[in-house]
Amino acid sequence: MMDRFLAIISIIGLLSFVGWINIRVMEPDLWIVSLVVMGIAIRFFWEDIKAGGSHFESRLDNKSDD
Kindly report, residue by residue over 4-56, the tens digit of the pLDDT. Answer: 888 889 889 999 999 999 999 999 999 999 999 999 988 988 888 887 766 66
Instruction: Note every long-range contact of 17-20, with CB atoms under 8 Å and residues 24 or more positions apart, other chains counting.
Output: none
C-alpha span between 27 and 6 (Å, rounded): 31
User: At 25, which amino acid appears?
Assistant: V
Residue 66 has pLDDT above 60, yes or no: no
> Which of the 8 DSSP states describes residue 53?
S
> What is the structure's pLDDT at 58?
56
> What is the structure's pLDDT at 7?
82
pTM of the model: 0.66
